[in-house]
Each structure stands twice: as C-alpha cells, then as structure tokens.
Chain A
Amino acid sequence: AQKVTQAQTEISVVEKEDVTLDCVYETRDTTYYLFWYKQPPSGELVFLIRRNSFDEQNEISGRYSWNFQKSTSSFNFTITASQVVDSAVYFCALSQNTGGFKTIFGAGTRLFVKA
C-alpha cells in the first residue's frame, strides 16, 4: 500500500514563529522518493524538495529544513522564523518503485502566518 498522511489540516502561527508540518508515509518498497510541494494562494504548485529512501540526511535550505526518519516513516518540514509569504497549502507526496513511480499526495496542510 502507498499512503501519505498529513494529520494537520490547518495551522495558524504568528510571524517569526517556527512551525513544523508533519508527514507520515506508508510503503512496502525499499526504493521510494518523498517530496514537498507548496501551493500559495495564487494556486500554482511549486516543488520544494525531493528525498530518496537511501538518503536520511536532513536538509536545510534557508529558513526551510526537512527531517527524514525511516524508523518512524516520517518526513517533516520545518519553517524557521515564519513569514506572511509562507502562508500556503503544503503537500507531502510519495513515489515508489511498485507502480512505476507514480506519485501519491497527502491531503495537505494549510498554513496561515499572521503578521
């Protein structure tokens, strides 16, 4: 089975707060890829990061960081010092070897950052 769970439907923070978006995935494959996408209010989908199943190294890009833990099947996303422009819906996604690497998305987490 291939599944992605984003348990947080909506999160509201005040500007400059740190916020973590949770993503838990299910797969029986040993080769898979995890992604995060951002959908700002304008509606387009913007790719943020890809991580493969063999690389558990955490990644930091500016105010964004990602924590990949295979032991808990999680790929969490943290925004440090949030800004109003971070307000968006964020999607976690999984692509696995079985099925030819089609991608399944989570339901998304809507983040509101208030000034």
Chain B
Amino acid sequence: DADVTQTPRNRITKTGKRIMLECSQTKGHDRMYWYRQDPGLGLRLIYYSFDVKDINKGEISDGYSVSRQAQAKFSLSLESAIPNQTALYFCATSDLAGVNEQFFGPGTRLTVL
C-alpha cells in the first residue's frame, strides 16, 4: 500500500463550489505539505504543518484553507473554487527534522470549469 494517499485522484468541479482534497499518510511523519503544480511554475507551497497544532501559510495560500485532523491526515479546501485553481495538487510528508526528503502522494488533478 502507498505510504501517502490522496483522494480524489481526479476532480472536475464548477466555479464557486466548495471542494476538499484529502491526504493520508502511514509514514508516521509529523510534517505535511500541500503543493500545487502548474506548467512552467514547478511546485509551489500552499500550506504546511509541522505537527497537529501547527499550520503555516506557504507561498500561495490565498483561496485555500487546510485542516490537520490528526498526525496522519491533512486536508486542503477550496472554499469557492475558481478556474485559475485548476492544477495538479500534491500532498507530501517529511520527518520531524525536515532535512530529509519529502514523500509525495500520487497527486490530485483538479479542473475548475
């Protein structure tokens, strides 16, 4: 079984709809991250969490919110989706130190019409 899972894998939604992307991990890591990938822009950090009680904004947090329900779960919400949020979204985890590599989920492809 995959160490980092994301649901859904693909989602098409309409402008204005609320949508939640979920991430679960079995790595036992404290740190979790949400990134979005757009062509030519690489991976940009949306939010990150160093433990259950710690949530931090990344480079591009506007229009997004997150919830760290447990050590193993980190959800990303789009309260009112807009077309320029169409992207590939990745969840990732790393150990407490943060100095080692990140482990990524398979990604969620989100299309906002």
Binding site for B on A (CB under 8 A): 6, 9, 33, 35, 43-45, 47, 50, 52, 91, 93, 95, 100-108
Contact = CB atoms under 8 A, between A and B. Distances in A.
A42 to B, nearest CB: 9
Contacts, number: 53
Interface of B: 33, 35, 40-45, 48, 50, 56, 58-59, 88, 90, 92, 94, 97-104, 106-107
A103 B102 CA distance: 9
Interface of B, secondary structure class, is strand
B104 A45 contact: yes
A107 B42 CA distance: 4
B84 to A, nearest CB: 18
Nearest to A47: B101
B43 A95 contact: no
A87 to B, nearest CB: 16
